[in-house]
Homo-oligomer: A and B are copies of this chain.
Amino acid sequence: MSEARAPRGRRPGAPDTKAVILAAARERFATSGFARTSVRAIAADAGVDPALVHHYFGTKDDLFLAALELPVDPRKVLLPAIAGGPDGAAERMLGVFLSVWDEPEMQVRLVAVFRGILDADGERLLREGFLPVVLGPVGEALGIDRPELRMPLVASQMVGLIMLRYVVGVEPLASLSADDVVAIYAPTLQRYLTGDLP
């Protein structure tokens, strides 16, 4: 929280400005969708210069992820898994995914974010933001063909796995070891990434 810092220096507005920008971004992304939202529009809503938005948050993609309040940047944690190329990518990506989601504190925060994405407003974020900002670049970095079909297929299995293992807690899925989850789901995901599809 910025409460403690606010009284201290000569720019009492600064921490609040970041919060105002984030609130404006969340509102814009949710109502206009990711593609039709510009940094310029968010800056105008927040009453600041677009340069300040870039200064604080980087690119529009970065700002979007900041607005989602993810505890980790999925693009960064997935990088090592992607670096190895398409062969075995599903197994490596699942390993990264589980190392993050199976960590109890992280899991609480991720489930909260995921519930937010499932909200009526949030669905638009998933549809218009999360897939293009996170999964799109992953597909391209992997160098697979037809990433625009394959990555949503990957998402369709991961969303269901997240729902049952973490959000709803359906047994035995909730208690499976990470190794078993990888053994079960890696073949599915690898086929979606590189297998024959119609």
Kindly report how many copies of this chain are found in the complex they form together: 2
Whether B170 pairs with A127 at a CB distance below 8 angstroms is yes
Task: Classify chain A: how many residues form its interface, as a range.
Answer: 35 or more
Q: Counting CB contacts under 8 A, is A107 at the interface?
A: no
Q: Counting CB contacts under 8 A, is A75 at the interface?
A: no
Q: Counting CB contacts under 8 A, is A5 at the interface?
A: no
Q: Counting CB contacts under 8 A, is A12 at the interface?
A: no
Whether A172 pairs with B156 at a CB distance below 8 angstroms is no
Q: Do A198 and B180 contact each other (CB < 8 Å), given the known contacts A161-B160, A164-B152?
A: yes
The distance in angstroms between the C-alpha atoms of A47 and B48, with both chains bound, is 62
Whether B156 pairs with A164 at a CB distance below 8 angstroms is yes
Whether B198 pairs with A179 at a CB distance below 8 angstroms is yes
When distances are taken between beta carbons in the complex, the residues of chain B under 8 Å from A168 are 123, 126-127
When distances are taken between beta carbons in the complex, the residues of chain B under 8 Å from A131 are 170
User: Can you list 12 A-B pairs, Cβ within 8 angstroms, ordered by A?
Assistant: A126-B170, A127-B168, A127-B169, A155-B164, A156-B160, A157-B157, A157-B188, A160-B163, A183-B198, A184-B198, A187-B191, A188-B188
A interface list, Cβ under 8 A from B: 118, 123, 126-127, 131, 148-149, 152-153, 155-161, 163-165, 167-173, 179-180, 183-184, 187-188, 191-192, 197-198
Known: A157-B160, A159-B159, A184-B198. 7 other contacts (CB 8 A): A123-B167, A148-B172, A152-B171, A155-B170, A156-B160, A156-B164, A156-B170
